[in-house]
Amino acid sequence: MSKENKMFKVDQLTVKVLNNRKDMGYCAAKDTIDKIRELLDVQDEVNMIFAAAPSQSEFLDALSSSKEVNWGRINAFHMDEYIGLEKQHPERFGNFLKKEIFNKVPFKGVFYLNRNGYEPVEEIEQYSNLLRKYPVDIVCMGIGENTHIAFNDPHVADFKDPSLLKVVDLDERSRKQQVHDGCFPTIDDVPVSALTLTVPALLNAKYVFCIVPGKNKAEAVSHTLKDEISERYPSSALREHPHAILYLDEESAGKLDGHFGYAQ
């Protein structure tokens, strides 16, 4: 496979491998922008869900810099939020996204998870109603080191979950990732629970753009693409989505050499 053509399919999932994080973020942003414009040609608004993580930074920077998008016709959501962090804490996912994109472009609406400090049961009802009111067109997401999507860690993931949003306990590896990413100084500082959109809430979207850079994600990418589709590897569900693209850099694709016709 040539340097210019690192693209292949695994089941229904399209995989694109770029040379580095910057190229990966730009490619994902360009594809997302093209899809937004395509949708806005045939519908009044586009509803999008975003992930909050350092892995998304290059993508969000490229996306928010675009002058080709009518942001005033787009509604924005995010996919998970810690329970127990104060409203202004910089590691709240809503605050991360506010800094990275929500305050950079003039969205029609931005809907924050648990912005008003509701009790979880009330927040689940409120946010689920919003998601029903604004059916999701595009999800922009990542994959965790343990293959979680949003905070659907393997022990709580349910591919047939009847809910759109739920409270989950975070597994230790998921919490350690937050330390690896530089978000918290120690695992003791990482919250133990969160609100998360469920797997069906994410994958009911018409289109999914999944951005996964870095060598720490190589194992998760390998499980996603090479192992069985099951809740043991929540991100493996992407392989059943008819319009999903997985974006990798050469580091995150590091365990794929020799598979799917891919060679580094």
Judged by average pLDDT, the poorest of 22-26, 33-37, 257-261 is 257-261
Here the CATH number for the domain that contains residue 167 is 3.40.50.1360
Condensed to tens digits (0 to 9), the pLDDT of residues 94-131 reads 999 999 999 999 999 999 997 765 688 899 999 999 99
Q: Which pLDDT value is given to residue 123? A: 92
Q: Does a structural domain hold residue 262?
A: no
Residues 253-260: what's their mean pLDDT? 91
Half-sphere exposure of residue 170, counting CA atoms within 13 Å on the CB side?
27
Measured between alpha carbons, how far is 186 from 170 in angstroms, rounded to an integer? Answer: 15
Q: Does a structural domain hold residue 261?
A: no
Beta-carbon count within 10 A of 117 CB: 9
Q: Which pLDDT value is given to residue 118? A: 62
Judged by average pLDDT, the poorest of 33-42, 187-196, 241-250 is 187-196
Q: What is the DSSP letter of 164?
A: S
How open is the CA angle 45-195-253, to the nearest 5 degrees? 75
pTM given for the model: 0.94
Say which residues have a Cβ less than 8 Å from residue 108's Cβ, sequence separation at least 6: 45, 71, 72, 73, 74, 75
Q: Does a structural domain hold residue 229?
A: yes
Could you tell me the residue range of the domain that residue 193 belongs to?
7-249
Measured between alpha carbons, how far is 209 from 21 in angstroms, rounded to an integer? Answer: 15
Mean pLDDT value across the chain: 94
Judged by average pLDDT, the poorest of 92-106, 159-173, 176-190 is 176-190
Q: Does a structural domain hold residue 2?
A: no
Q: Does a structural domain hold residue 256?
A: no
Task: Say yes or no to pLDDT of 5 above 50.
Answer: no
Task: Say yes or no to pLDDT of 2 above 50.
Answer: no
Helix (H, G, I), strand (E, B) or coil at 24: helix
Say which residues have a Cβ less than 8 Å from residue 237's Cβ, sequence separation at least 6: 149, 159, 199, 203, 229
Amino acid at 183: C
The total number of structural domains that make up the chain: 1
Distances (CA, A) of 131 to 145, 182, 224, 227: 27, 31, 27, 31
Measured between alpha carbons, how far is 219 from 147 in angstroms, rounded to an integer? Answer: 9
Say which residues have a Cβ less than 8 Å from residue 144's Cβ, sequence separation at least 6: 153, 174, 177, 220, 235
Q: What is the DSSP letter of 54?
A: G
Measured between alpha carbons, how far is 187 from 177 in angstroms, rounded to an integer? Answer: 9
- The structure tokens listed for 80 are 């998970």
Q: Does a structural domain hold residue 158?
A: yes
Q: Does a structural domain hold residue 234?
A: yes
Task: Say yes or no to pLDDT of 10 above 70.
Answer: yes
Q: Which pLDDT value is given to residue 131? A: 97
Q: Which pLDDT value is given to residue 117? A: 59
Task: Say yes or no to pLDDT of 240 above 50.
Answer: yes
Residues 161-185: what's their mean pLDDT? 92
Condensed to tens digits (0 to 9), the pLDDT of residues 204-239 reads 999 999 999 999 999 999 999 999 999 999 999 999
Q: Which pLDDT value is given to residue 11? A: 98
Task: Say yes or no to pLDDT of 88 above 70.
Answer: yes
Complete edge-to-edge strand list for the sheet that includes strand 193-197: 80-82, 193-197, 165-169
